[in-house]
């Protein structure tokens, strides 16, 4: 198996290592150089110099002159003097006489040991390291390596499949998370709308309070006017009674004057030549005429007082109707204010509930993002053990529960929340109610101003 030839034994520095890049590209040998070799298979003290090459798991040796050809051509000769398989060999340093840097190569299949020697300790260390590394390449190790490679490839495929599954789940959960973020933005928008509606409610409540205060003032003014009308009505009634009494007295006086006039006309003879101004009958006629004029004047005053009393009664009736109207409007406004206050409180409670739900959702979203980041780190990590797999499964389970709960609780996709509709309807109803109250109040104020104008004109007349 091994061949050898002797040459001159003249020790000199021999081992050289080629440039690593050139060797990797052209020769593809692990190490080459000149070593001392003792004959194989027999005890001999003769040493010869040989050119050695380590190629993969084989040690090839040539004559020393082959070194120049190898370095010039950068290719090794395929017809070596001998080939030593290194697979499974035991390589260790050995002390030899006159050769302090010897190397022993042994194997159970070899007949004897192979002994080589380097020129220096550094060369010995290099050859020992490379020979030991090359000796690890055996058929059994190659089969084991192939089995390990197949196992690793299978594990890699399984991990790639699991990684793809996790990535698919991660994409689905990311889409769900994006949907939840959109719902969160929708909740924020609805929160802003509800805040605006809340301010509108407050404005409506303030307007209703102002309307109620104005109606209360007008109601007090109407009550004072009604009280003044009642007092004027009493005065007119007393004046009418006094005029009636005066008329009755004047009628009685007139009757007496007429009786006296008839008696005087019957008793006294007709005058011969007295003047009319000097006769008593003429004086009675003048008194009677004055009484009639005074009665006529009193009758006119009585009619005027009755007319004014009738107007005062109409005015009092109008004021009473206006007071009832203002009372009903005030009660309606009070009811509306109470309803709006209750609705405002309900809206605030619903808004607080929505804010609380949104805060809980944000907290859950943060937890979900942390779980997703942990899951992504676990997927991107090269180290995969049972603890990490269990943690990733727990993260996936928590994320699934979170999204299922969010889907059950989400109602924004189907319709607008009821609180939003109620707030819009309440605002419209309140606006219509305010317009109606203002219209009735303007109409009542117009009628009241007309009554005041007529009363002022009658007072002037």
Domain limits at 83?
29-119
Question: What's the predicted TM-score (pTM) here?
Answer: 0.32
pLDDT grade for 34, boundaries at 50, 70 and 90: very high
Q: Please give the residue that has the higher pLDDT: either 409 or 63.
A: 63
Residue 126: the pLDDT is 93
For residue 59, being part of any structural domain is answered with yes
**DSSP-based three-state secondary structure for 202:** helix
**DSSP-based three-state secondary structure for 222:** helix
Once rounded to an integer, what is the mean pLDDT over residues 213-239?
84
Average pLDDT in the chain: 76
Q: Please give the residue that has the higher pLDDT: either 432 or 93.
A: 93
For residue 276, being part of any structural domain is answered with no
Contact 101, 119 (CB under 8 A): yes
For residue 406, being part of any structural domain is answered with no
Residue 280: the pLDDT is 62
For residue 358, being part of any structural domain is answered with no
User: How buried is residue 349: exposed, middle or buried, by Cβ count under 10 Å (0-12/13-18/19+)?
Assistant: exposed
Point out the least confidently predicted range of 70-79, 189-198, 326-335. Answer: 326-335
pLDDT grade for 17, boundaries at 50, 70 and 90: very low
Phi, psi at 430, each rounded to 5°: -65, -40
Using CA atoms, how far apart are residues 144 and 452, in angstroms rounded to an integer? 119
The domain tally of the chain equals: 1
Once rounded to an integer, what is the mean pLDDT over residues 422-430?
55
Residue 413: the pLDDT is 52
Which pairing describes strands 31-37 and 90-96: parallel, antiparallel, or unpaired? Answer: unpaired
For residue 226, being part of any structural domain is answered with no
For residue 100, being part of any structural domain is answered with yes
pLDDT, tens digit, for every residue of 312-344? 888 778 888 877 887 887 788 788 778 878 877
Q: What is the CATH number of the domain that holds 61?
A: 2.30.29.30
User: Does the pLDDT of residue 168 top 80, yes or no?
Assistant: yes
User: Does the pLDDT of residue 96 top 60, yes or no?
Assistant: yes
Residue 248: alpha-carbon gap to chain centroid: 92
Once rounded to an integer, what is the mean pLDDT over residues 87-91?
89
Phi, psi at 138, each rounded to 5°: -130, 170
DSSP at 273? S
For residue 263, being part of any structural domain is answered with no
Residue 149: the pLDDT is 78
Task: Give bridge partners of residue 114 from the DSSP assignment.
Answer: 105
Most confident of 63-67, 173-177, 199-203: 63-67
Degrees, nearest 5: CA angle 365-366-371: 95
Which pairing describes strands 82-85 and 90-96: parallel, antiparallel, or unpaired? Answer: unpaired
pLDDT, tens digit, for every residue of 283-313? 767 877 788 887 888 888 888 888 888 888 8
Using CA atoms, how far apart are residues 350 and 346, in angstroms rounded to an integer? 6
For residue 109, being part of any structural domain is answered with yes
């Amino acid at each position: 198996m091994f061949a050898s030839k002797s040459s001159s034994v003249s020790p000199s520095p021999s081992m050289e290592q080629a440039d690593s890049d050139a060797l990797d590209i052209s020769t593809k040998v692990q190490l080459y150089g000149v070593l001392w070799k003792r004959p194989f298979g027999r005890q001999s003290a003769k040493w010869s110099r040989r050119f050695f090459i380590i190629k993969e798991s084989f040690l090839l040796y040539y004559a020393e002159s082959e070194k120049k050809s190898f370095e010039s051509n950068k290719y090794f000769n395929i017809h070596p003097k001998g080939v030593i398989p290194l697979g499974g060999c035991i390589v260790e340093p050995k002390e030899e006489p006159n050769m302090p840097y010897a190397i022993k190569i042994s194997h159970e299949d070899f007949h004897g040991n192979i002994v080589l020697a380097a020129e220096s300790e550094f060369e010995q260390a290099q050859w020992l390291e490379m020979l030991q590394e090359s000796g690890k390449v055996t058929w059994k190790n190659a089969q084991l390596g192939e089995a390990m490679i197949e196992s690793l490839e299978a594990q890699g495929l399984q991990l790639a499949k699991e990684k793809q599954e996790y990535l698919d789940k991660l994409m689905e959960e990311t889409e769900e998370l994006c949907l939840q973020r959109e719902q969160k933005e929708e909740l924020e928008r609805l929160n802003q709308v509800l805040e605006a509606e809340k301010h509108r409610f407050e404005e409506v409540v303030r307007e209703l309070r102002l309307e109620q205060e104005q109606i209360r003032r007008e109601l007090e003014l109407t009550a004072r006017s009604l009280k003044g009308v009642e007092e004027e009505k009493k005065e007119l009634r007393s004046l009418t009674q006094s005029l009636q009494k005066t008329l009755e007295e004047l009628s009685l006086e007139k009757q007496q004057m007429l009786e006296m006039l008839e008696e005087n006309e019957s008793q006294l003879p007709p005058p011969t030549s007295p003047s009319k101004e000097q006769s008593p009958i003429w004086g009675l006629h003048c008194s009677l005429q004055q009484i009639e004029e005074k009665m006529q004047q009193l009758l006119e005053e009585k009619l005027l007082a009755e007319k004014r009393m009738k107007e005062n009664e109409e005015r009092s009736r109008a004021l009473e109707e206006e007071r009832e109207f203002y009372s009903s409007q005030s009660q309606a406004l009070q009811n509306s204010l109470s309803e709006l206050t209750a609705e405002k409180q309900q809206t605030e409670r619903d808004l607080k509930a929505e804010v609380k739900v949104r805060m809980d959702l944000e907290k859950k979203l943060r937890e979900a993002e942390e779980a997703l980041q942990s899951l992504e780190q676990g997927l991107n990590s090269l180290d995969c053990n049972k603890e990490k797999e269990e943690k990733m499964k727990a993260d996936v389970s928590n994320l699934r529960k979170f999204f299922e709960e969010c889907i059950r609780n989400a109602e924004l996709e189907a319709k607008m929340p009821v609180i939003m509709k109620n707030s819009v309807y309440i605002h419209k109803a309140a606006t219509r109610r305010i317009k109606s109250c203002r219209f009735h109040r303007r109409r009542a104020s117009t009628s009241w101003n007309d009554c005041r104008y007529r009363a002022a004109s009658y007072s002037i007349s």
